[in-house]
Amino acid sequence: MLLALDAGNSDTVFGIHDGQRWIHIWRTRSLVNEGPAHYESILRLWLLEAGISPTTIQSTVLSSVVPDLTPTLRAMLAGLFSQDPIVVSPAIYPLLPLEILRPYEIGADLVANALAAHLTYQQNCVVVDFGTALTFTTVSATGRMLGVAIAPGLKTAVRSLFSNTAQLPEVPLEMPESALGTNTTHAIQAGIMLGYEGLVRSLLARIRAELDGNCLAIATGGLVATIPTLHVEFTEVRQMLTLDGIRAISQYVSAGAHQSR
C-alpha cells in the first residue's frame, strides 16, 4: 500500500492507496509549529482505527507547498515507516512526462494536478483547484505546462474581508438566491460566491480562447462543491485528482530508481 501526503497551507491530506483505489482519506490542519510527534500520533490513531499496520505501508510520498512543514512531515514519515519518503520537488521532475514551467517556482500540487490531467486525458486541459488559493493550471496535449493563474481561494477571500473590516462578519460559503443581498450575510455571499462564479467562468473562457477553444476543464479541491452551478463548465469533477497526481509521481520516481540500478 501507498501513503500519500498533500500538505497545503490550510490542511494536510493523507491518503492510503491499495493499488486499485484510495481506501482511506484523512485531513488535519497544517500546523508549522508542531513537531513530527504531533503528526505521528494523529496518523498512528488513524491507522489503528482503520485496522492498518504501519508495516503494510510499502511506500510513502510527500507533496508540500509549506516549506516550514516539509522537514517535519518528512521526518515523521521516515521515523514511522523506516524509509525516506519520495518528496515531490524539482530534483525529480526530469523523471516525469511533463515539461514544467519554472520548476523552482511552481507548487508541487500544481505539478501533481497537471500530471494527473495529462495522463488521464492526453488533451489540452486546465485544472481548476478550489483550495486555499484558487488555481488554474493549464497543460498541453503533449505534456507541456503552459501557464498558471492564481487567485485567493473562497475561504481566503471571506476571511480577508472579515479580518480587515470592522462591521462585516465571517459568513458560510453558501450560494445566495439573489445577487441583491438584503442583509449583511447575503450581501457578502452575493459578492463572494457569485463573484467567484463569474471569475471562474471568465478565466476559463480566456484560457480556452487562447487555445482556440481546444481545452478541457477539470475541477478539484476541497471547496469544489461550494459553487455547484459551475460544474457544467467541467468535463469532470475529481476530488482526488491531486492525490492521483502525487501517486503517479511516486510511480515514475520508483520506476526511474529501478532502471538506474
Q: Catalytic residue numbers? A: 109
Return the sign of the alpha-carbon dihedral for residues 203, 207, 213, 216.
negative
* CA–CA dist 217, 204 (Å, integer): 8
Where would I find the H helices in the chain?
36-50, 70-81, 108-121, 154-164, 184-189, 195-210, 241-260
Return the sign of the alpha-carbon dihedral for residues 240, 220, 138, 147.
negative
* CA–CA dist 135, 172 (Å, integer): 21
Other C-beta atoms closer than 10 Å to the C-beta of 129 total: 27
Q: List C-alpha distances in Å: 106 to 60, 102, 119, 183, 235.
A: 22, 6, 19, 40, 25
Smallest CA-to-CA distance from 148 within 166, 158, 169, 134 is with: 134
Where residue 88 falls (left for φ over 0; alpha for ψ -120 to 50; beta otherwise) is: beta
* CA–CA dist 102, 107 (Å, integer): 10
